């Protein structure tokens, strides 16, 4: 199963503006359209509880949404069988469960804590990163403040508007990771 981590970031690596969780307030329309398409084509989507709580996610028969939380019981009322699930499994346990079920792709949509957990366990194959030509100074980075040493290889780069928003894709060179 191929695992893809997707983020939109500023040039200084921020995925939130000054701590405001609403990404669509600053991401370009081109990125929002791109993200919507990627989302629509993804059967299996994984996110952290903070990212889940930052937006409204409607259940859909087209997607299996996996929300990672250490307190799944508090979300019992929001669970929709085969559509929205809350789990305290580790990234490796989630990966193994859906890999064994025959899923071909898993989209990890953040946030930074979940991204870092997957990266640390070497479970990300590709990073799909949109770079918005902006600098915020403060706000969350797309990984948390831990020591990582991950090498990637650029496989796609497309300028999608006049201002210079770049949609990029990288493969993670897993044998280069040292933790
Ligand atoms: N720009 C972008 O592309 C983008 C994408 C996604 C998110 N975001 C932004 O990022 C922010 C949220 O990011 P975040 O890093 O604070 O939160 P997050 O990664 O969405 O969720 C973290 C939470 O997930 C739960 N959790 C369960 N298992 C975990 C594990 N193995 N490792 C870490 N956490 C685990 C914990 O909450 P419990 O208390 O439930 O256990 C933890 O506090 C939001 O503001 C969102 O808007 C931006």
Dmax over CA atoms of the chain, in Å, equals 47
Residues with CB under 6 A from ligand 1: 7-8, 15-16, 21, 23, 47-51, 54, 68-71, 90, 109-114, 117, 140
Alpha-carbon gap, residue 74 to 94, rounded angstroms: 20
Domains of the chain (ranges, CATH numbers): 2-176 (3.40.430.10)
**Which atom belonging to ligand 1 lies closest to the Cα atom of 22?**
47
HSE-CB at 24 with a 13 A cutoff on CA atoms is 10
In the chain, % of residues over pLDDT 90: 94
Q: pLDDT band for position 175 (50/70/90)?
A: low
Taking only the tens place, the pLDDT of each residue in 5-64 is: 999 999 999 999 998 999 999 999 999 999 999 999 999 999 999 999 999 999 999 999
What is the reported pLDDT for 37? Answer: 98
Q: pLDDT band for position 178 (50/70/90)?
A: very low
- Compute, in angstroms, the gap from residue 47 CA to the centroid of ligand 1: 7
Contact 124, 108 (CB under 8 A): yes
What is the reported pLDDT for 174? Answer: 79
**Which atom belonging to ligand 1 lies closest to the Cα atom of 51?**
20
């Amino acid at each position: 199963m191929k695992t893809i981590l997707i983020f939109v970031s500023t040039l200084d690596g921020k995925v939130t503006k000054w701590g405001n969780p609403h990404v669509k307030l600053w991401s370009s329309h081109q990125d929002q359209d791109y993200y919507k398409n990627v989302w629509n084509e993804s059967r299996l989507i994984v996110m952290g509880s903070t990212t889940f709580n930052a937006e409204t996610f409607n259940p859909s028969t087209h997607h299996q949404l996996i929300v990672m939380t250490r307190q799944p019981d508090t979300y019992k009322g929001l669970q929709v069988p085969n559509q929205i699930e809350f789990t305290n499994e580790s990234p490796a346990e989630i990966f193994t469960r859906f890999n064994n079920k025959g899923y071909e792709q898993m989209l990890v949509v953040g946030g930074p804590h979940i991204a870092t957990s997957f990266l640390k366990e070497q479970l990300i194959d590709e990073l799909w990163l949109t770079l918005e030509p902006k600098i915020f100074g403060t706000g969350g980075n797309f990984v948390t403040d831990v020591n990582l040493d991950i090498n990637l290889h650029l496989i796609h780069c497309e300028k999608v508007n006049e201002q210079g928003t770049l949609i990029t894709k990288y493969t993670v060179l897993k044998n280069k990771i040292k933790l």
